[in-house]
Amino acid sequence: MRMIVSRLLQSQSQLPTLSALVSSRNARLFSTDSNPVDEHFKVEEAETVNVPPPPSEKLLVLGGNGFVGSHICKEALEHGVTVASLSRSGRTNVHGSWADSVEWHQGNLLVPESLKDVLNGVTSVISCVGGFGSNSHMYKINGTANISAIRAAAEQGVKRFVYISATDFGLVNYLLQGYYGGKRAAEAELLAKFPYGGVILRPGFIHGTRQVGSMKVPLGVVGSPLEMILQHARPLNRIPLIGSLFTPPVNVTSVAKVAVRAATDIVFPPGIVDVYGILRYSQQK
């Protein structure tokens, strides 16, 4: 019995030592003192990761010196977007204080090298490139040139691409096969390369004040009244053969507003936006 009591007393005398040892080890675990074992964990907890700020929006407008393109440039600048333009003639015949805020580049979409440097830092592209002439020329300008731009933008990692196309006009499509054939080929390429960030606008007649040399042509004199009337006469579009002739005109500022929104708003749905969609989106604030 004496032996048992003696051993119990000895074990109790050792408890403070064990308690001190445990406390000492715990204190080292939570200590900020430098320690080879704990150094790795301490650095990870204290280290600050420098995350770069999100890149600012930079929009490239193809054909930015034209009737529609110039309005798009102005609209984008008003929204605080950095704007660059690429066209065959650069800034030629573009006037206004807003033009000084645009990066003007001269190049040819049919020459892929023209786009390489221009696309650096670009987050979205809007193409207004198109033209008339022989069927082969129209297909090259409306189709081949835009397809080249779409492919270059996709390879460069551009997020969104908006293409200003054209609505169907029935018999007119047949008479201008190169024009509409090129447009539809470019549309197909865009939907393939930008399934989640590609938007196609299909306006009809675009009206507004157009600068032709030193003369201003007020297309709105005809286009504006027709737009007001025909936008409320949509059932007429269903008339066989001639229904497409009742497609309402669209103001150039409406096209520019929707194009810029489609290029910069990540929640803007991809796909085709017809004339009535353009009118609807343009009326939203």
The CATH number of the domain where 135 resides is what? Answer: 3.40.50.720
- Residue 104 above 50 pLDDT? yes
- Say if 142 falls within a structural domain: yes
Report long-range pairs for 233-241 (Cβ below 8 Å, ≥24 apart): 234/276, 241/170, 241/171
pLDDT tens digit sequence for 123-150: 999 999 999 999 999 999 999 999 999 9
Domain that holds residue 79: 59-282
Q: What is the pLDDT of residue 272?
A: 97
Q: Which residues contact 179 (CB under 8 A, 6 or more apart)?
A: 130, 132, 135, 138, 139, 142, 166
Q: What is the pLDDT of residue 213?
A: 65
DSSP letter for 144, please: I
Check: CB of residue 206 under 8 Å from CB of residue 255. Answer: yes
Q: Compute the distance between CA of residue 209 and CA of residue 54 in angstroms, rounded to an integer.
A: 37
- Residue 28 above 70 pLDDT? no
pTM: 0.77
- Rounded to an integer, the average pLDDT of 203-226 is 75
- Say if 186 falls within a structural domain: yes
Q: Compute the distance between CA of residue 97 and CA of residue 24 in angstroms, rounded to an integer.
A: 73
- Say if 244 falls within a structural domain: yes
Q: What is the pLDDT of residue 44?
A: 35
Please give the sequence-ordered ranges of beta strands (E in DSSP) within 32-123, or none if there are none: 58-62, 82-87, 102-106
- Rounded to an integer, the average pLDDT of 237-264 is 89
- Say if 42 falls within a structural domain: no
- Say if 20 falls within a structural domain: no
Q: What is the pLDDT of residue 278?
A: 96
Check: CB of residue 72 under 8 Å from CB of residue 256. Answer: yes
How many Cβ atoms from other residues are within 10 Å of residue 149's Cβ?
28
Number of domains in the chain: 1
Confidence of residue 9 (pLDDT cuts 50, 70, 90): very low
For residues 209 and 81, the model is more confident at 81
Which H/E stretch holds residue 33? Answer: none
Most confident of 26-30, 221-225, 244-248, 263-267: 263-267
- Say if 158 falls within a structural domain: yes
Please give the sequence-ordered ranges of beta strands (E in DSSP) within 39-183, or none if there are none: 58-62, 82-87, 102-106, 124-127, 160-164
Q: Compute the distance between CA of residue 92 and CA of residue 69 in angstroms, rounded to an integer.
A: 13
Within a 13 Å sphere around the CA of 7, how many CA atoms are in the beta-carbon half? 3
For residues 235 and 84, the model is more confident at 84
DSSP characters over 149-206: HHHHHHHHT-SEEEEE-----THHHHHTHHHHHHHHHHHHHHHHH-TTTEEEE--SSE
Q: What is the pLDDT of residue 214?
A: 64
- Say if 30 falls within a structural domain: no
pLDDT tens digit sequence for 58-102: 999 999 999 999 999 999 999 999 999 999 888 777 778 898 999
- Say if 50 falls within a structural domain: no
- Residue 20 above 80 pLDDT? no
Torsion angle, alpha carbons of 254, 259, 261, 264, to 10:
-160
pLDDT tens digit sequence for 161-198: 999 999 988 877 888 999 999 999 999 999 999 999 99
- Residue 57 above 90 pLDDT? no
